[in-house]
Chains A and B, each alone.
Chain A
């Protein structure tokens, strides 16, 4: 069966450290993978997109890697701040479909001052 798993439900880290979130998928052939941030009571907000033929993407303090052999994406937030506390969702678009996104269950990140 198809699955998208994010490493843990919750992750607590100290301010200033690097947060690393994991997204593993099974039985998908992603054309690309996206990461979203979701705050309580709000809809997800797009952060980064990485295509199947890209290894790494960066945007300010964010970095995403994509390993199609391991079927895994890693999402890093460097120099984390309390304002980074939120739930982070990975989502992938399968090559066989249109722009339909399949979402993981999310990881709730808390950055402790």
Chain B
């Protein structure tokens, strides 16, 4: 089966600019996650969707970050305006359902550099 697709793979922007990332999960996976991975750290969950509804966005900085999953398939994550500390890899993952014991499949990530 095809894996999780993300684009772009790399993005460089100036601070205060806006940026958007796109994710296409594995077909049939109901649950989609966005993670932020700062260099040298483990991934940190930003938001979890179950179909097109938000399950958990408690760690999403809502003053500048937003995410949507229209029609319960693809998802976009937006940052507006970006700050220097947003430089990180943004990982998208999907799983068959949101229950316990579900293996998460990760995409290759988008590396964001904010100058």
Interface residues, chain A, CB within 8 Å of chain B?
4, 31-32, 34, 41-46, 49, 51, 89, 91, 93, 97-106
Partner of B106, one of A44, A93, A102: A44
Instruction: Give, as a whole number of angstroms, the nearest-CB distance from A49 to chain B.
Output: 6
**B71 lies within 8 A of chain A by Cβ:** no
| Binary flags per residue of B3-29, CB closer than 8 Å to A gives 1, else 0 | 010000000000000000000000000
Interface of B is mostly: loop
Chain B residues contacting A91 (CB-CB under 8 Å) are 42
Ordered nearest first, which 4 A-B pairs have the shortest CB separation? A43-B106, A103-B42, A46-B103, A99-B98
Instruction: Check A99/B48 contact, CB under 8 A, given A32-B100, A43-B91.
Output: yes
Given A89-B42, A93-B100, A105-B41, also A99-B31 (CB < 8 A): yes
Contact A99 B100 (CB under 8 A): yes
Pair A101/B45 contact, Cβ less than 8 Å: yes
Of all chain A residues, the one with the shortest Cβ separation from B50 is: A98
- The secondary structure that dominates the A interface is strand
Would you call B61 an interface residue if the criterion is a C-beta within 8 Å of the partner chain's C-beta atoms?
Answer: no
B93 contacts A by Cβ under 8 Å: yes
Interface centre among B43, B105, B106 (most CB of A within 10 A): B43
Task: Among B42, B105, B106, point to the contact of A106 (Cβ < 8 A).
Answer: B42
Check if A98 sits within 8 Å of B106, measured CB to CB: no
Query: Mask for B97-115, Cβ within 8 A of A = 1, else 0?
Result: 1111111111111000000
Query: Which range contains the number of B residues in contact with the other chain?
Result: 20 to 34
19 A-B residue pairs with CB within 8 Å: A32-B100, A42-B109, A43-B4, A43-B106, A43-B107, A46-B105, A51-B101, A89-B42, A89-B43, A91-B42, A93-B100, A97-B56, A98-B48, A99-B97, A99-B100, A101-B43, A101-B45, A103-B42, A104-B42
Nearest Cβ on chain A to B76's Cβ, whole angstroms: 18
Q: Could you tell me the distance in whole angstroms from the C-beta of A112 to the nearest C-beta in chain B?
A: 22
In the complex, whether B62 has a CB less than 8 A from a CB of chain A is: no
Question: How far is B52's CA from A81's CA once the two chains are assembled, in angstroms?
Answer: 42
Chain B's closest residue to A41 (CB) is B108
CB distance from B70 to the nearest CB of A (A): 21
